[in-house]
Every structure is written in structure tokens, then in C-alpha cells.
Amino acid sequence: MTQLLDYLSEKYQPESLDEINRRLLELSSLFEISKILNESLDLSHVLNNILLIPMGRLMIPRGVIILKDNDHFNIELAKGIPVDEENRSFDCIDLPNTSFKIEALDKKAAESGIIKYANSVHLEIAIPFISKNQCFGLALFGPKLSQKDFTAEEIDFLNSLASIATSSIENALQLKKTIDINRQLDERIQELKTLFDIAQGLSATLEQPKILRLLVFAFMGQMLITKYSILLKIDTHYQIKENKGFTESILESICDKLTNISVPDRAINVKDWDNDIMKKALLSLNAEVMIPMTHQSKQLGMILLGTRINGQPFTSNDLEFLTTLVSQAVISIENARLFQETLEKQRLEEELNVARQIQKNLLPKQLPTTPGYDIHAINISSKQVGGDYYDVIQLNQNKFAIAIGDVSGKSVPAALLMANLQSALRLMIRQNIALSSIVADINDLIHDNTDPDKYITFFIGILDTQKNNFEYVNAGHNPPFLLRTTGEIQSLDIGGIILGMMPRYSYQSASIKFNPEDMLITYTDGVNEAIDPKDPNEEEFGEARLKNVIENNGQGTAKDLINSVLESITEFTKNNLDSDDVTMLAIKRTS
């Protein structure tokens, strides 16, 4: 207060007793005004008093206070004048550092937005707020009710008031800034707490629907929105997973438009999207914010939000929060997807194990003894379980049924179909029925009880070790090769079509005689179709190579021949026999 009195004493040099009394009264008034202004650091309180005190004292019906904020002048308070949104902010211009009449400004200043506004609402005089030789605000007043000009004493009073008010305004602005910073810090802390809580909730589940619901609850609680939509990208097309408040038909058309469209990498206001097509489409939906769902630069979907319940716009901090929130949710969604893939792989592996066990149990654990003949067989399962099957069934002391087959498809369905084949064969083969009729009945059974894409290549023969006769039927299977002692190789291809393709089909049978040292080898297509997976041409082992191996190795035992074929295809495929099962059965007459 002492500084104020010194300032005023220096400014006003008394010239007469009346002048002394007037100025003492003015000093007293300014002293009271200073006390009022310093009673509170609330900006609205300070500005109200700065405006109302001179308006009441000088009988001024309207006034405005404008303060500088960065590069703009903003109307902070207006009395007696309506203020619309269009006239609330103005570009900064250079203004005098002392009080001035609006009409006295030069033409350049008069063209500025702030002066045009002052003229439009009939403001007459401007009193600047000066700090560090810089104007940071103005108090603008209209004409007095008396329609008289402002006197020099009145202008002095207004300037003195502005000088006194400057520190109060700066203090109030500093307090407001501190409060705003604290509020922003509180909001960020709350956002971090929300993100932490949501992250805990997201990490507690690996189910996509629950993750999306948690995300929706976060939007509703944190952003105060009631209209939202979650669109997930499946292959190249977007699908609506969650929607509330948006017109579904418009959403579906937007999903169609999104195909092959680049989406921003962070949350944006829809009006700021540089894609005019998408901007127009989303604005027609009344969507306000778009949030991308990306993971490792891969587009997984997007989220659309409507307006907030409180009508407040989405700030840059809100968009940053939404980007972070959705990023966390996307990670959880990807984890859920990977978890489901792992479960599916485990399920498939369990299924493969079941199929392998079925297949293993259906194959003979030990081949029966066949007088005068050497029989050997192998089955090597690939990683993908197939339906390869072989069997040697002793019918009586001298007769043996020799069978080999390959069921279409993989895994458990193929193994189960193979089981049906084995049970049907073992039931029918002991009946006094012609071999061709047995195969025909099995064909009808397979056709009538399986899907059209399920079929079996099948070869069966009855070996009579007493008569050295071998009657066979080939139902679309790879023709077995019979190596005679003369070196001739004969194909056993008489029979008919594969099992399950056509009902009521009549199969033919044929017979051969086994001479001493003759060798018969049966096999599935895992042998002749074996390939090197690294061969760009995917060349198969083929029947020509197989015949060559048989010719060169048919003089040993049945086991020797099978081992020779196995070594050849292993070498050919560079030790990669994983694409299909390999099954072989060889018969050699030893006496």
C-alpha cells in the first residue's frame, strides 16, 4: 500500500486545496479498490470488480475485458453486451500502451477483428493492462450515460485502476494456470489409474467378447459416451462386433468402404481425417472420434465413438488416452487369438494322437506263420495321420487273406473309416462268399455310410499256400508288382473302381500262381508319390524307380526288399518322409 501511495503522490502534484481534497478522495477510493481486488485471487472476482467499479462510478452502461492468451485476445468478461462464439477470440495486433479512443486508431488497426468488434458494440475507450512494457489485456468501455466525453481526471482514474489491477490480474491468472495444471495432473493420474485397472481386467481374460465389453465399459465410464461401434477386420473385410446407437445399415456400408483403405495410426477427430470419402461417411453416421486397432503395423479393426453426454469435445489428451487404451486392448485381443490358436493346435495334436493310436491298434501286432512263404510288412506314419491299412488274416491252415488300403483324408475321420473297413473285412472274409462279392459289399457299405468325399483304395488277395494260388481284387489301388524268377515284373491291376465311389458296382477277380522265389510287393501311394519337399519341381519317386529297386533287390527276403525300397525313397526325399504314410507288404514263396 505504501508503494501505491508513493506512486499516486508522485503522479499527482497538488495545485490547490480543492485539488488536494479531490485527489485525497481519489487516493482513498483507489486504496479501497486495491483492497477489494486483493481480497481474492479468483480471476472472475478480480475482473468483475475491475469492470463494475468504474462502470458504477462513471455511469457507463457497457464494458468488456479482453486478455491475451498466446497469440489471441479472448473476451473474458462482458457487461451490457451479448457475446457470441464467433466474437469471443481475436488475432493479436500491436496496440498503444496507454489509454486510447477507439475512433482515434489508425486505419490498419481499425481493420483488425478486435477493433471491428469494439465498433460494432459501440465501445468508445480502451484502457490497456501493461506488464513489463507489454500489453496483455484491455478494458474497453462504452460511452457514459450522460453522453459527455471522458474527462482527463476520469481517464487518469481508469489508468490508475488498470495499473493497480495489473498485479491482481497476473496473480489471478497465475493461480488459474496452477489450478489448470493441477486439474490436468489429476486427470492424467486418473487416466493412468484407469489404464492400470483396465489392464488388470484385460489381462485376467483370454476371451475376445469379454475384452471388447471391458473396452466398451471404459469408454462409457471415462469418456461419458453412449454411442459406440467396434469393427474388427476379418481377412480383408470389416465386421461389426459391437454397436450401440449407430445406424447398422450405414455401418455396414462403411465396412464395405474400409476395404484396402489406409487408416490413421492414432485416435483422431473424424472431421480431421484427410480421407474425404471416409470423413463424409462417418460424419453421416454422427461419429465424432475414430480409434484404430493396430498391432505391429497390422490393421485389426477400428472403433467409432459418438458425442459425449456432457457435450464436451474430445481434447488432444482424450485422444491420446483412447489411443493408449485401445492399444492395450489390442494386445489382449491378440493374446486371446494366439491362446485360441494354441488350444486349437493342442486339440489337433490330441486328435492326431488318437488317430495314430487307432491306426496302430488296427495294424497286425504280429503276422501269422505262412508255410512256404515269407511275409513282411511295415507302416511308417507321417506327421499327418492318414488312413493306410494292411492286414494278414489266417482263414484256415492253408489260406490267408492279404489286404492293403489307403483311406482318403487325414486324422481321426480317416482312421475311423479305416477301422470300419477292417471290421467289415474281418466279418465278411470268413463267410463262404466270392472275393469279388465281398469287395462289392464293402463298397456298398462305404458308399451308403460316408460322405461323397470319403473313399478307399483297396487291394485284397487270398493266398492258398497249399495250391500256391493267389486270387485277388484291386479296387483302384496302386497295382502291386509281382517279380518272377525270370526277371519279369507283372502288375496286379484287375478289379474295379475305388471303394465308396459308386454303389452296386460289380468287381472282377483274377488269380496268379506263385512259383518258387517269386516276390510280390504291395504298397500305398506314400511310396510312389514320395517327393523331396525342397525340390522346386516336386518330382515324385514314381513307379519306374520302384520297379528298378524291385528288379535289383528281389532276390533276398521280403524284409530285404522292403528295406531296399525304404532306403531308396528316404535317399530320394533327403530323409523327409513326412508328407504321407508309407506302407508296404511283401510276400515271397520260399519253397
- The model's confidence at residue 560, banded by pLDDT at 50, 70 and 90, is very high
Summarised one tens digit per residue, pLDDT across range 264-273 is 888 899 898 8
C-beta separation of 323 from 267 below 8 A: yes
For residues 307 and 414, state if they share a domain: no
For the residues 120-132, what does the mean pLDDT come to? 85
For residues 332 and 443, state if they share a domain: no
- SS3 for 266? coil
Residue 282, Cβ density class (10 Å: 0-12 exposed, 13-18 middle, ≥19 buried): buried
- SS3 for 77? strand
What per-residue string of b and e applies to 550-572 under the rule 16 or more CB within 10 Å gives b? Answer: beebbeeebebbbbebbebbeeb
For residues 285 and 392, state if they share a domain: no
Residue 412 has pLDDT above 90, yes or no: no
CA angle 318/321/326 to nearest 5° reads 125
Residue 540 lies in a domain: yes
For residues 522 and 377, state if they share a domain: yes
Domain count within the chain: 3
pTM higher than 0.85: no
Residue 344 lies in a domain: no
**Number of Cβ atoms within 10 Å of the Cβ of 55:** 19
Per-residue DSSP letter, 104: G
- The model's confidence at residue 499, banded by pLDDT at 50, 70 and 90, is very high
Residue 43 lies in a domain: yes
Q: Which of 514, 425, 405 is nearest to 470 (CA)?
A: 514
Instruction: Name residue 269's amino acid.
Output: N
- SS3 for 431? coil
Residues in the chain: 591
For residues 410 and 550, state if they share a domain: yes
**Highest-pLDDT range among 124-138, 243-257, 317-331, 504-518:** 504-518
Residue 74 has pLDDT above 90, yes or no: no
Q: Which of 315, 319, 317, 280 is nearest to 303 (CA)?
A: 319
Residue 9 has pLDDT above 60, yes or no: no
127 vs 439, higher pLDDT:
439
Residue with the three cell numbers 492293403: 404
- SS3 for 586? strand
For residues 106 and 212, state if they share a domain: no
For residues 95 and 24, state if they share a domain: yes
Q: Which of 176, 197, 216 is the last residue of a domain?
A: 176
249-263, 352-366, 368-382: the lowest-pLDDT one: 352-366
For residues 132 and 251, state if they share a domain: no
For residues 406 and 459, state if they share a domain: yes
Residue 185 lies in a domain: no
C-beta separation of 33 from 112 below 8 A: no
Residue 146 lies in a domain: yes
Within 13 A of 27's CA, how many CA atoms are on the CB side? Answer: 20
C-beta separation of 553 from 351 below 8 A: no
Residue 186 lies in a domain: no
Cβ neighbours of residue 190 under 8 Å, at least 6 residues apart?
A: none
For residues 223 and 146, state if they share a domain: no
Summarised one tens digit per residue, pLDDT across range 246-256 is 888 888 888 88
For residues 260 and 168, state if they share a domain: no
Q: What is the pLDDT of residue 195?
A: 60
Residue 293 has pLDDT above 80, yes or no: yes
Describe the chain by its helix, strand, coil percentages, rounded to 5.
Answer: 45, 25, 30
Summarised one tens digit per residue, pLDDT across range 190-214 is 666 666 666 666 666 667 778 778 7
C-alpha cell at 217: 465399459
Q: Where are the beta strands (DSSP E) in 217-260?
A: 228-234, 237-244
For the residues 416-439, what does the mean pLDDT come to? 89
C-alpha cell at 215: 473396452
Question: What's the CATH code of the domain at 558?
Answer: 3.60.40.10
For the residues 353-382, what does the mean pLDDT come to? 85
Q: What is the pLDDT of residue 124?
A: 86
What's the rounded Cα separation, in Å, for the pair 68 and 91? 10
Residue 347 lies in a domain: no
Beginning with the edge strand found earlier in the chain, give each strand of the sheet holding 373-380 in spatial order. Answer: 373-380, 582-589, 519-523, 481-483, 489-491
For the residues 289-298, what does the mean pLDDT come to? 84
Residue 389 lies in a domain: yes
Question: What's the CATH code of the domain at 250?
Answer: 3.30.450.40
- SS3 for 136? strand
The CA-atom distances, in angstroms, between 31 and each of 99, 112, 155, 191, 348 are 21, 36, 17, 47, 89
For residues 251 and 146, state if they share a domain: no
Domain that holds residue 136: 2-176
What's the rounded Cα separation, in Å, for the pair 115 and 521? 106
